[in-house]
Amino acid sequence: MRIIVVGAGIVGVSCAIWLQRGGHDVTIVDSKGPASGTSHGNAGVLAAGAVIPVTTPGLAMKAPGMLFDPNAPLFLKWRYLPKLLSFLRHYMGFANDAHVDVYGSAMSTLLHDTVDQHRALAAGTGAEKFISDEDYCFGYATKAAFEADAYGWKKRKAAGFKYEVVAGADYVEVDPSYGEAFEVVVRCKNHGRISDPGKYVQTLADHFVTKGGTLRICDVQDIEVNNGAITMLNTSHGDMTADKIVFAMGPWSKKIAHKLGVKVPFESERGYHLEFINPSTMPLNPMMVASGKFVLTPMDGRLRAAGVIEFGGLENGPSDGPIDFLKRQVAEILPDLKYDSIVEWMGHRPAPADSLPLIGANDAAGKSYSAFGHQHVGLTGGPKTGRIIADLIGGKRANIDLAPFDPNKFKAH
């Protein structure tokens, strides 16, 4: 079949490679090219145990105070608030224990084997060199802070994820980078790391092209729909048609998804990173700094601090607050850090109200498919999502329950 994949991040490139391996004629369409957005700027962690959503019980009580606390990792562009209110009503509706269990059960099936899925995707592409097995660590400044996070750790343990709780002083024996910054460190096992997310996705895309795939850099301006099914893409390079079209546009998916009847309440969740080039200290493992909800990840030639959450839409530029927050946090944790230069970045995570990605057919005829909405775990879940989409298009049944990811589950909204 002739198949178009719209989007050249990790999810879109994964879909394209698995579809190509299935014998299809595949074209990737993207406005800027491979890994030009969040697939470049993420924390680089293959977070197999990321089965706890942001929307946990008590969030509605904590969030207002966090917005007014300069040392909290939650930010808002206040002029964007009127546009955000409808989404927030849905989003906060999922901040309950029952949904945490729904989310955890579904995401466990998608994420638990992420390192193996990445290795299968990268096999023979040249991108294998970027993948490594790593502990994913969580650092807590105090024992009380760790105990305050007990809810999430109990949920992970119940889901079967293995972790080891160690004293910060003992962890420093293995990795002296953090000195006395953490009183408690949790080491999550069976996780992984991508040493350069941008180059990794670019290498995968280059392989796709060398194997006969087509990459077209152009804007998708609109779609034409007949009887609920897409008939044409309108692009800056002219109209395009295919037997099947996969939409993997990340946070830019909302407009087209809604036109296709996929009425998911959806927002851009903006994230930031700082990169310290040629740092004097290079930690051993990725470390989630629990107090700041950002990850310090060793990467090729640089140390990246990536995370925080800001709601401010797709059109507004970066804010000073999150960047200043990350700089203060890193200076506190690594006070002796020296580096050649620093790079600042802001990007967009695709955030459905229920935090669950949309994976599957958008219409009964199977003319178009959704593969977006992975929020904080696009890199982690991208390869398996691509394999699932390729299987569905190829007429195979997925080996996990896809009901929680059904693009049509919000049709009543």
HEC profile of 275-308: EEECCCCCCCCCEEECCCCEEEEEECCEEEEEEE
CB 310 within 8 A of CB 322: yes
Per-residue pLDDT, 413: 46
Asked whether 49 and 161 are in contact (CB, 8 A), the reply is: yes
* Residue range 326-331: mean pLDDT, rounded: 96
Average model confidence (pLDDT) for the chain? 95
Alpha carbon distance 74, 16 (integer Å)? 35
Rounded mean pLDDT of 320-345?
97
Residue ranges per structural domain of the chain: 2-405
Kindly tell me if the per-residue pLDDT of 245 is higher than 60: yes
Average pLDDT, integer, range 131-135 = 95
pLDDT value of position 229: 85
Percent of the chain with pLDDT over 70: 100
Q: Does the pLDDT of residue 412 top 70, yes or no?
A: no
Helix (H) or strand (E) holding 270: strand 266-277
Question: Under CATH, which architecture does the 2-405 domain have?
Answer: 3-Layer(bba) Sandwich (3.50)
pLDDT given for residue 93 in this prediction: 95
pLDDT confidence tier of residue 227, bands split at 50, 70 and 90: confident
How far apart are the C-alpha atoms of 65 and 67, rounded to whole Å?
5
- Print burial letters for 357-392: b (CB count within 10 Å at least 16), e (below 16): bbbbbbbeeebbbbbbbbbbbbbbbbbbbbbbbbbb
For 356-360, what is the mean pLDDT?
97
Q: pLDDT per residue over 182-196, tens digit each?
A: 999 999 999 999 999
Q: Is the pLDDT of residue 99 over 70?
A: yes
